[in-house]
Amino acid sequence: MSPFLKSFLSGRRVLGAYLRYHSSLTAELIENMDKKATWDRFYTETSSGKATFKNFEWFFGFDSVRDFIMPLLQTMSRPNAALHVVDMGCGTSALGPSIYSHSPVSVHVTCADISPIAVKLMQEHIQAKAIQPHSCSSQIEFVELDCTQLDKRFSPSTVDLIIDKGTTDALLRSREGKRNASLVLKQCLRVLRSSGSLLQFSDEDPDSRLIWLETAAQDPGVMTADVGVQEVGELRGIHYYCYQVTPHPAL
């Protein structure tokens, strides 16, 4: 079993047990993590029959990464303008809503996922919980969106922060992995402001991920990017990292 799938399955003990008894869904996840139908099935089957809604967190929840996200938002803050934050491949994570409810800086949080099932579950959950923003001018929305087509939703240089918690990892481990992951990275750099950043949270070792990011982020004559890494920590025997990618127009 790959470290990614190990961390995915161990993210919630009950879900791990569920998937062990539904081997066909586990196999589909391993083979088709880049397919909409796979995630529609995943969110349909793991939410059916549940009396109460529970968020599913890839790798870890908001508390594990808030010290990477919140200070960055503070440094980006602009007078009289909300920061546009995108939780890319949000699934049913509480990450986007947690930023919305904890950020003293005004934010417009877009939680985007390829699965309309996940989007509907989160819309219903937020309405039921009536989650309130920390800043009265903050907003949150949930949208169905293929992350290889971010420019269909966002204009160039309009997003301040994109958070990717496991989405690129899923793409890299799919059959058409590196091609789609490279496309997503270029889409992120296209819609980010020059003052913005992409944060990738991953269990992939820096020796591999840094080389790929530094290569895939370059678009000669159009775009270049700075790439850095910090260790998030160890959880259930797996090391996690935060990769920060900051775009710069080519000179």
Per-residue pLDDT tens digits for 192-237 = 999 999 999 999 999 999 999 999 988 776 678 999 999 999 988 8
**Cβ partners under 8 Å of residue 148, min gap 6:** 180, 183, 184, 187
According to the model, what pLDDT value does residue 32 have?
73
The answer to whether 200 and 168 are in contact (CB under 8 A) is yes
Q: Extract the residue ranges of the chain whose pLDDT is less than 50.
A: 1-18, 21
Domains and CATH numbers, the chain: 23-47+55-135+147-249 (3.40.50.150)
Vertex 50 angle, CA 134 and 11, to 5°:
65
Token pair for 116: 């309309």
**Cβ partners under 8 Å of residue 36, min gap 6:** 114, 115, 146
